[in-house]
A and B are shown apart, each in its own frame.
Chain A
């Protein structure tokens, strides 16, 4: 641990990694809470994996891969959102198809890209230790956009997640806000791909929020808790992985997964214990 702290003071790349973790946690705490309460984890997974297609094409054309990721994510969110609004009964089939086709396009284009071979692993599992300064600023900018949008339209987003039909009857343009929410999910996916890679995006988007949902009494509290948990997981994951030289992204996710498991188990046992004690008291 002390070796990690020493290295942190001395190496800019570790400071960048820590900053990337904090910035990503803000987005994943807020957006992940919506994903969990609205139960659109699979949908977010579809968007995340379709992104590889955009990245592959951008690579092939010699453009910035994050730009390609952004375009692919927004496009995937719009297609999936439209499908989920209009063809609800085929939703998971179509998400599954986009998921697979997006990845296949990405791999095809990357394999055809001339020059040295792109490290596919770093897109699948991320490399938080190699986030350049420019990307940090980009992530911070995207964070600001997300926070501002959700702050301004928090009433509508809450209503759409809680009870779509009632929101529609109160004159809220539900389809617009649902698509907006998916676009925000897509933005977040692009941020998180920099940090943990796209295979593990879903985990960081859902695990902190899922843990928070076990305790939070309001959506705002859930977002705050999930953000703090995300910061703890990324920070602790970085520290743990530093000395044994483990892959940082995978360590972060395993840590989050373990915390979720322990939290769910602990809560289950506690509820059971409470139920039996109330029952025994009632019997007396």
Chain B
């Protein structure tokens, strides 16, 4: 299996503070669906930024699709956590999805018919085509997330990277969007960052646990011992679907 993403002994430290990542080695094969889990501040977002080429490693090497992250940006579709931009920005769903074509379209003037077609296909796939005229600010959390996935897909990526895609979505929306990722996984490599180990383990092919260094990467399901090591404390597992009942006292 050819690696789509490969990190070789990567360390990274920001200007201030302790190292965010230490000696991380990880290979993500083509067609894999990798879940990246770990506590807040554990370096998940830093690792994504290294793969996207927004940061350069202090030591070690990052390769994406056989090239440097900067060379391979065009094959990556990236879905950020949506709090990055102003919700009241005057922009429609259509215009947002079209931005996925920025790397492929012409330099001057507006978008071409081919760009609009690519965006239309992407919006169809994520089921937001009927929202295309709507301003972004009027969408629900789940709808917005699908638009951002459409924007990433419009660039026709072979690797899809998602940062906490369900942070602002309810349980039902979460299941629906992961079903979509499962379908997309048939034709592209997917890396998804999440703090919800239990939920994603039903979808991903492998989980990588990150807390400054790579603690494990292994097929699902994870044992309790691994999760306790990840969080550095005893944890209790509650399966999804469990409803908490408050028992009425007689």
| A residues whose Cβ falls under 8 Å from a Cβ of B | 37, 39, 151-156, 158-159, 161-163, 165-172, 213, 216-219, 221-222
Contact = CB atoms under 8 A, between A and B. Distances in A.
Contacts of A162: 85, 89, 91, 96, 99
B52 A153 contact: no
Main secondary structure of the interface of B (DSSP, over half): loop
B22 interface: no
Given A152-B109, A170-B102, A170-B103, A165 B80 contact: yes
B111 A218 contact: no
B114 interface: no
A171 B90 contact: no
Nearest to A214: B88
Given A165-B84, A171-B73, A218 B95 contact: yes
Nearest to A161: B89
Contact of B92 (A168, A169, A217): A217
22 contacts: A155-B110, A155-B111, A156-B102, A159-B102, A162-B85, A163-B80, A166-B78, A166-B80, A166-B151, A167-B99, A169-B54, A169-B76, A170-B73, A170-B100, A170-B103, A171-B103, A172-B102, A172-B103, A218-B90, A218-B91, A218-B92, A218-B95
A165 B148 CA distance: 13
Given A166-B99, A169-B76, A171-B73, A155 B90 contact: no
A219 B99 contact: no
A39 B109 CA distance: 25
Interface of B: 52-54, 73-74, 76, 78, 80, 84-86, 88-92, 95-96, 98-100, 102-103, 105, 108-111, 135, 151, 155
A222 B90 contact: yes
A163 B91 CA distance: 12
Nearest to A217: B135
A163 B109 CA distance: 19
Contacts of B89: 37, 161-162
Given A153-B108, A154-B110, A155-B102, A170 B155 contact: yes
B192 to A, nearest CB: 17
Contacts of A222: 90
Interface centre among A151, A165, A170 (most CB of B within 10 A): A170
